[in-house]
Amino acid sequence: MTDRPGQDEAYNFAYLDEQTKRMIRRAILKGIAIPGCQIPFGGREMPLPYGWGTGGIQVTASILGPDDCLKVIDQGADDTTNAVSIRRFFERTAGIRSTLITEEADVIQTRHRIPETPLKAGQTLVYQVPIPEPLRFIEPSETATRRMHALEDYGVMHLKLYEDIARYGHVSTAYAYPVMVNQRYVMDPSPIPKFDNPKLHMSPALQLFGAGREKRLYALPPYTRVESLDFEDFPFEVQKWDEQCALCGATDSFLDEVITDDEGSRLFVCSDTDYCQKRQKRLTQSSSEVRKEELAS
């Protein structure tokens, strides 16, 4: 038995039993060996409902070690219900340290965002995925989509983007924007905004994707080529804002629109709370330094 301060002894380390972890670990290795290919795994019933990150939690539980520092974000925020409860779940079942700071984390579980702070080699990003199959909305049959992946029959994906262009004049897909991995598999990057797609490409961090309801996982090893699908005359573009973050003034981060009253007033704030707070701290520091200099002169 392992005694760890803070770990609830009623559970095995990180909740899952060892045989389940072995099964998921074998699937993770297959996912890494075939980047972008969906690997089925025997998903377990978790103590929270599907849609709350059961896939991500099972992947995290299978890789997490006692010395790891864990960060959990939900739409970029560390302080939402989903992020807080998953962080507390692992603090309780694994006795691990957790952090809100991207650079400090060894494992980051995320729902629908990639942190703004660039990831480093050695870090692992675990995505929560609702529908792992990028072709599912076009082709409901699993047998058919499996054959399409086998034959690299991805024309329909381009057709879907083309229909966007024909109808709206631009590609209207704004999140879960399909990508081509290692020039072989079309992959759903999970519902991250397409703003984050370029961060998938040649990332120094290992990226793992877990879908609990669909019982699939897939992976991107570090330094893997990930290209967003596009056309020569309609190249891939990310969202841009005319506004800046109302709290930290950032112009380079993904902004959430916040409605502030019934009159239609609104402001934009960074979706990545850690990034925003670090910038706010730096702003107050630099302004206090300016004040000191003014006093000194």
Partner 1 sequence: MSKALNTRQLWRPFNDPVLDAQAAFRQIMRALAEPGNLTDLSGIYPGKDQLSSGMLNPLSAAFVVALTLLDQDTPVWLSPVMSQGELATNLRFHCDAPIVDAPKAASFAFLSLEELESLEPFNPGSETHPYQSGTLIVEVPGLASLPSQASSYGMILSGPGIADSRKIAIDSIKPQQIHLLQQNHERFPLGCDFLFTCGSALMAISRSTDLQAGEQGEN
Tell me if residue 223 falls in helix, strand or coil. coil
The interface with partner 1 within residues 104-163 (CB under 8 A) comprises 146-147, 149-151
Does residue 297 bind partner 1 (CB under 8 A)? no
Contact at 8 Å (CB) between 254 and 195? yes
Q: Which is nearer to partner 1, 1 or 166 (CB)?
A: 1
Asked whether position 64 contacts partner 1 by CB under 8 A, the answer is: yes
Q: How far is the CB of 19 from partner 1 (least distance, A)?
A: 6
CA dist 274 and 253 (Å) reads: 12
10 binds partner 1 (CB under 8 A): no
Of 76, 274, 277, 270, nearest to 192 by C-alpha is: 76
Binding to partner 1 by CB under 8 A, coded x per residue (else -) over 190-229, reads: ------------x-x-x------------xxxxxxx----
The set of catalytic residues is 36, 245, 248, 270, 276
The nearest distance, CB 87 to partner 1, in angstroms, is 19
Encode 1-20 in three state secondary structure: CCCCCCCCCCCECCECCHHH
Contacts of 264 (CB under 8 A, 6+ apart): none
Q: Is 182 in the site for partner 1 (CB under 8 A)?
A: yes
Query: 236: phi > 0 → left, psi -120 to 50 → alpha, else beta; which?
Result: beta
Q: What angle, 0 to 180 degrees and rounded to 10, lies between the N-to-C axes of helices 54-63 and 81-94?
A: 30
User: Which residues of the chain form contacts with partner 1 (CB under 8 A)?
Assistant: 2, 12-14, 18-19, 21-23, 25-35, 37, 39, 62-66, 146-147, 149-151, 182, 184-185, 202, 204, 206, 219-225
